[in-house]
């Protein structure tokens, strides 16, 4: 019988794009037989900033029941996927703040030997989505983690959705990419657990 694997999806999303991709990844991992935790990095922006954009305020309200990411969620995962909007070619401050809380776990070697993968979205095709993903993979090297990118796919580094108009749903291309990525992460995490 296949061994169960734990998959944690840690994401930050201001207006819902990354939340949509994170949900697709979580559902795909579940279908592949994984136990899944879907958790969000806490909002750090001042209330006035959130309220200045209706889509941001609405999304925050709509996802208030999604548990806030804790260090234990990462420790629990055999595989951890990080999702963030691209911010100036980098990850969001909200996700980075959460990752910085992993310091003691890192120091004790408890982040090592897990599978890690990352996904993002951005306003423009050449707006730095790959540098965002690589900035996450840089940290994974420090963790001693095993980077599992999707490889031959829409973006070999990690699912990367380019936003259309404000109301456009996440593209099927990005969702397909998310499924490929999630499947591969589960397969590799399971193989490592069984080795």
Q: From the CB of 68, what's the least distance to ligand FMN, in Å? A: 16
Site string (4-43) toward ligand FMN, x via CB under 6 A: ---------xxxxxx-------------------------
Residue 50 in contact with ligand FMN, rule: CB under 6 A = no
Residue 88 in contact with ligand FMN, rule: CB under 6 A = yes
Residue 45 in contact with ligand FMN, rule: CB under 6 A = no
- Number of other residues whose CB lies within 10 A of the CB of residue 195: 5
Q: From the CB of 121, what's the least distance to ligand FMN, in Å? A: 4
Residue among 163, 180, 188, 192 that touches ligand FMN (CB under 6 A): 163
- How many CA within 13 A on the CB side of residue 18? 32
Residue among 8, 28, 86, 135 that touches ligand FMN (CB under 6 A): 86
Q: Exposed, middle or buried, 194 (CB in 10 Å: 0-12/13-18/19+)?
A: exposed
- Closest to 44 in 3D by CA, of 85, 97, 4, 88: 97
**Two tokens, residue 109:** 């070697």
Which C-beta is closer to ligand FMN: that of 46 or that of 104? Answer: 46
DSSP 169: P
Q: Give every CB contact of residue 189 below 8 A, 6+ residues apart in sequence.
A: 5, 7, 34, 78, 79, 114, 115, 148
Binding site for ligand FMN (CB under 6 A): 13-18, 85-89, 121-124, 127-128, 163
């Amino acid at each position: 019988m296949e061994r169960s694997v734990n998959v944690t999806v840690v994401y930050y999303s201001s207006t819902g794009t990354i939340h949509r991709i994170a949900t697709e990844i979580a559902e795909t991992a579940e279908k592949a037989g994984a136990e899944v935790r879907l958790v969000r990095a806490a909002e750090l922006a001042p209330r006035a900033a959130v309220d200045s954009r209706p889509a941001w305020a609405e999304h925050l309200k709509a996802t208030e029941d999604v548990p806030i990411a804790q260090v234990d969620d990462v420790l629990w995962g055999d595989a951890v996927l990080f999702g963030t909007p691209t911010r100036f070619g980098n990850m969001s401050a909200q996700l980075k703040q959460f990752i910085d809380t992993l310091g003691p776990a890192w120091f004790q070697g408890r982040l090592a030997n897990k599978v890690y993968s990352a996904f993002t979205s951005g306003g423009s095709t050449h707006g730095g989505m790959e540098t965002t993903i690589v900035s996450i993979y840089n940290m994974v090297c420090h963790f001693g983690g095993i980077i599992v990118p999707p490889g031959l796919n829409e973006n070999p580094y990690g699912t990367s959705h380019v936003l259309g108009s404000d109301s456009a749903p996440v593209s099927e291309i990005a969702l397909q990419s998310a499924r490929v990525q999630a499947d591969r992460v589960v397969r590799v995490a399971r193989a490592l657990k069984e080795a």
